Amino acid sequence: MRDIKDLPIRVRNAENTSDDQDPDGNLNVWKEYAAKHYNWNKKTKCSEYSCFDDDDLVGAHVDVIEENHPDKGEQFIIPLCRSKNSKQGEEFDIKGDTILMPVDELNS
């Protein structure tokens, strides 16, 4: 039996976030959040399901749209390739073990 953490999570690249603060800065906030709450100390990689790039990442806003996911409808910050992040509104899958940082943390 596969672990649920192996299953992809469907998300939508959030729209109208271009006037947010610098997305590179959001990536640093994500790293701090992941370290604090999950003892994250690995090399940060892209969250997209089939992508393992680890350079030119940004902290991207995504909405979870996975049916039956406990966080469906909520918006989070995740590490994502810069090129991927530019495609606003696009739906794609992320890795099931991605650390989802609630957007509220940006203002805390």
Q: Which residues bind Zn ion (CB under 5 A)?
A: 46, 48, 51, 53, 81
Smallest gap from Cβ 1 to Zn ion, in A, equals: 28
Nearer to Zn ion, 34 or 81 (CB): 81
Q: What distance, in Å, lies between the first and last C-alpha atoms of the chain?
A: 39
**Phi, psi torsion values for 75, nearest 5 degrees:** -110, 140
Smallest gap from Cβ 72 to Zn ion, in A, equals: 23
Smallest gap from Cβ 53 to Zn ion, in A, equals: 5
Nearer to Zn ion, 55 or 104 (CB): 55
Say if CB 102 and CB 74 are below 8 A apart: yes
Q: Which two tokens stand for residue 83?
A: 């090129």
Instruction: Give the C-alpha separation, 29 to 6, whole Å.
Output: 25
Q: Which two tokens stand for residue 62?
A: 């995504």
Nearer to Zn ion, 52 or 107 (CB): 52
